[in-house]
Amino acid sequence: MQASITGQSSASGRSDAAIKRADERTLRRIMENVEITSSNGTLRFAALVAAVCGGLYGYDTGIISGALLSMTDEFGLSHHMQEIVASAILAGAVIGALATSWLSERIGRKITVLVVAAVFAIGAVACSLAPTVPLLVAGRLLLGIAVGASTQVVPMYISELAPPDRRGNLVTMFNVAIGIGILLANIVGVTLHNVWTWRPMVAIAAVPAMVVCVAMIFMPRSPRWVAENRGLEPAAEILGQVRDTHRDVQAELRQIQEIAREAKPEESGWRGIRQSWVRPALLAALGVAFFTQCGGLEMMIYYAPTFLEDAGFGRSSALYASLGVGAVYALATLLGCLFVDRIGRRRLMLIMIPGSVISLIGLGAMFATGATQGPASWLTIVFLLAFMLFNSGGIQVCGWLLGSEMFPLAMRGPATALHAAMLWGSNLIVTGTALSLVQAAGLGSTMWIYAGINFASFLFVYLFVPETAGVSLEDIEEALRQGDFRPRQGDSGLTRRAGVAAVPA
């Protein structure tokens, strides 16, 4: 069906001017039948419903923090089996992230989000009913597929539905929802651990998942996907529901035509990722994705109560500390999303990462010296929460964002799938080895190892990640094509093609 957009350019011997005139006639004919029924409520509600999948991701990954203690009591899990149970969701996330790229292209973003919500619900119920450890791991794996799929398709669905001037605000609703989901998971773990076992803690996530599944039936499709697969006329009808004026609809349809006309076959899909000029973006985005997960934040979310209990904290104190971890994560993510455009992606990471390093060094010292009792226990909590603040408010905010903006449009689908797979694969490595590392090196030394990884992430960002705040996607692509995609002296960012000022330092 893509020929319905690009068919004008397939005729041989036609000049570019003739093609553009034909395109304009087509647009005028389509616009005659477009009815503007836009309301801010429709667009925001669609983004909110889709973003709930981020909350499910946060809850389903974060609930293991409080539920793992109960699971260990019921099944007698060893440290190694605890790692397998906790990390099974991450192995599924890698599968889900890669598979959803194909699915969202075949059946569309909206239907894929609906399917993902259904898998969330089925996975939560299956996991809560698991009578044995292997079935528990299988249920966590199914939940992981939904988690990985949501991180691939939901931001893409929202960004393709949102107008350019509101895209950043609406897409970051997904990031904020993740933090809220983790916080809710910690609240449930702390307040209900003496009332509920782990089974209802996990099962309750099926309720919002079913709400999303039903609500998505009434949400609009992605207008860009519809244009590429069904034609411009149905895409124009959808844009009329989420845009304010005929001018906005016509401008977006014209952009879709131009992109389709200029796209080259060898630059699309997985073939495009192998182009040499794209490698700097791959290095920057995938490198930040790796450090986002391997810096230790996910380890704290999953294992903070376990670490603190091993260090001498009581179970209630350990669970309340994990609640603080969730609260700081949610607050820092919200603040990071609000300021990342003003401060800049690169600068925000370079400001915040040193705080992560210092916090982990201090936390390691507390664990290594055994100073976790009495008044010293408060200092341990301060270092733990400080690390969550600096890490989740900096590189965590930028990790997902860079993957959505650094890749050229023609290959963005598979490139973002690869980016999500890198995030989840790195998360799997950390979660699957954290307890074994603690057993081998000690809790204090483990914190220092992660401090070293955070320091390495600072060097990586400084050397390989340019500033992309305030730069259009087209300018980023042009910088890649010209071999100019690299950090600039003074942190000035990528220069706009128009020749005006670069992104402020």
What average pLDDT does range 108-118 have in this prediction? Answer: 92
pLDDT at 179: 83
Rounded to the nearest angstrom, the gap between the alpha carbon of residue 36 and the centroid of all alpha carbons in its chain is 32
| 3-state secondary structure (DSSP) of residue 442 | coil
Please, are residues 57 and 147 in contact by the beta-carbon 8 Å criterion? yes
At 465 the three-state DSSP class reads coil
Long-range contacts of 319-324 (CB under 8 A, 24+ apart): 319/66, 319/186, 319/189, 319/190, 319/193, 320/190, 321/381, 321/384, 322/65, 322/66, 322/186, 322/189, 322/190, 323/183, 323/186, 323/187, 323/189, 323/190, 324/381, 324/384, 324/385
Closest CA to 364 of 433, 426, 307, 294: 307
The answer to whether the beta carbons of residues 325 and 385 sit under 8 Å apart is: yes
The DSSP code for 499 is: S
* Better-scored residue on pLDDT, 272 or 463: 463
The answer to which of 26-40, 59-73, 114-128, 136-150 has the lowest mean pLDDT is 26-40
CATH number for domain 263-499+501-505, candidates 3.40.190.10, 1.10.260.40, 1.10.1370.30, 1.20.1250.20: 1.20.1250.20
What contacts 356, CB < 8 A, 6 or more positions away? 295, 387, 390, 391, 394, 395, 451, 454
Q: What is the pLDDT of residue 415?
A: 85
Q: What is the mean pLDDT of residues 354-360?
A: 96
- Domain ranges, ordered by start, for the chain: 34-261, 263-499+501-505
Average per-residue pLDDT for the chain: 80
pLDDT-derived band of residue 502, with 50, 70 and 90 as boundaries? very low
Q: What local confidence, expressed as pLDDT, does residue 505 receive?
A: 37
Q: Output the pLDDT for position 489.
A: 57
**275-290: pLDDT as tens digits:** 888 899 999 999 999 9
Q: What share of the chain is helix, strand, coil (3-state, %, to 5)?
A: 80, 0, 20
**Lowest mean per-residue pLDDT among 62-66, 84-88, 235-239:** 62-66
Nearest-CA neighbor of 224 among 108, 113, 111? 108
* pLDDT at residue 418 tops 70: yes
DSSP assignment letter at 76: T
Taking Cα atoms as reference points, which of 430, 435, 312, 419 lies closest to residue 61? 430
| Least confident among 187-191, 269-273, 304-308, 457-461 | 304-308
As a whole number, mean pLDDT of residues 171-189 equals 82
Choice among 8-12, 13-17, 93-97 with the minimum mean pLDDT: 8-12
Which CATH architecture does the domain made up of 34-261 adopt?
Up-down Bundle (1.20)
The residue among 142, 137, 145 whose CA lies nearest residue 80 is 137
Element (H, E) at 441: helix 412-441
- State the CB neighbour count (10 A cutoff) for residue 131: 7
Burial label, 495 (beta-carbon count in 10 A; 0-12, 13-18, 19+): middle
**Cα 335 → chain centroid:** 16
Confidence of residue 13 (pLDDT cuts 50, 70, 90): very low
How high is the pLDDT of residue 143? 92
Write a three-state SS string for 325-374. HHHHHHHHHHHHHHHHHHHCHHHHHHHHHHHHHHHHHHHHHHHHHCCCCC
Contact of 220 with 39, CB cutoff 8 Å: no
Over residues 180-203, mean pLDDT: 82
**How many angstroms separate the first and last alpha carbons of the chain?**
44
